[in-house]
Amino acid sequence: MILSDWDIKVYLEKKLLIINPLFDDTVRENGVDLRFGYRFCRFKGGNTIIDTKYMNVPEVLECLDVTEEKGFIINPYEHVLTTTLEWVELPHDLAGLVNLRSSFARAGIYIPPTIIDSGFKGNITIELIGGPHPVRVYPEQRFLHVVFLRTSSPVFKPYQGKYQGQINVTPPKPDQNN
C-alpha cells in the first residue's frame, strides 16, 4: 500500500519516519520531495577500469562542494553522484521508491530505479544521468520524489548494509564478502 500524505505525517509525528531537515513542502500527496545537497561527484574521464569486485571508484571520482549561486552542470550523458540534503530514517515496515521529479526529467535528466530499504538511515546517494543538453541544478532544489510502501509486516532483517549511516555522497563500496 502506498502511504498518503496523512499517513506520512503520522509516521513523522510519531518519529517512526525521520526526515531532517523537514520543510513545509516536503510532504506531498502520496510521498515526499527531497532536495539536492551541496556535494556532487563526477567520474573523471580516462581508461581506468572500474572493477566491480573491488569497487575502486573513489580513485576516478572528482567531488565538488557546490554553492547555491553557481549550481552544478550535468554534462550531456554524464553520470554524476549526488546526495540529498535530508537525512532519512525508515522504520522496519516502510520501503521507499525513489523517482526523479518530472520537471527534472523533462529537462533531460534521469535516474536509475532506486529503492530505500526498510531500516535504512542516512543521506540518500543518487546517480543522475544527463540527457542531450547540459543542465544546471542547484543545492536545496526539490529533485526527488519518494513514495513509501508499507510492507505486509515489519521486515525480519532490516537494512544493515554497507551504506547504513552514509553521510553526503558515498561512492560504491566493495561487497563485505570480498
Question: What does the alpha-carbon distance between residue 174 and residue 162 come to, in Å, rounded to a whole number?
Answer: 9
Give 176's pLDDT tier (boundaries 50, 70, 90).
low
Residue 36 within a domain: yes
Residue 177 pLDDT level (bands cut at 50, 70, 90): low
Q: Catalytic positions, please? A: 127
Domain coverage including residue 97: 5-46+53-150
155 lies in some domain: no
In a domain, 78, yes or no: yes
**How would residue 43 be classed by pLDDT, with cut points 50, 70 and 90?**
confident
Q: What is d(CA 116, CA 41) in angstroms, rounded to the nearest whole number?
A: 21
Mean per-residue pLDDT of the chain: 93
Of the chain, the percentage scoring pLDDT greater than 90 comes to 81
Give the count of domains, the chain: 1
Average pLDDT (5-17) is 98
User: CATH number of the domain that 37 lies in?
Assistant: 2.70.40.10
- Is the confidence at residue 74, as pLDDT, over 90? yes
Q: Is residue 159 part of a domain?
A: no
What length is written for the chain?
178
* pLDDT tens digits, 116-163: 999 999 999 999 999 999 999 999 999 999 999 999 999 999 999 989
How far from 45 is each of 39, 62, 78, 89, 112, CA to CA, in Å? 19, 10, 10, 35, 21
Whether 67 is in a domain gets the answer yes
Residue 97 counted as domain residue: yes
In a domain, 167, yes or no: no
pLDDT at 171 over 50: yes
Q: Is residue 35 part of a domain?
A: yes
| pTM (predicted TM-score) | 0.91
What share of the chain in percent tops pLDDT 70? 96
Predicted pLDDT of residue 178: 46
What is the per-residue pLDDT for 16?
97
Three-state SS at 5:
helix
Secondary structure of residue 57 in the 3-state scheme: helix
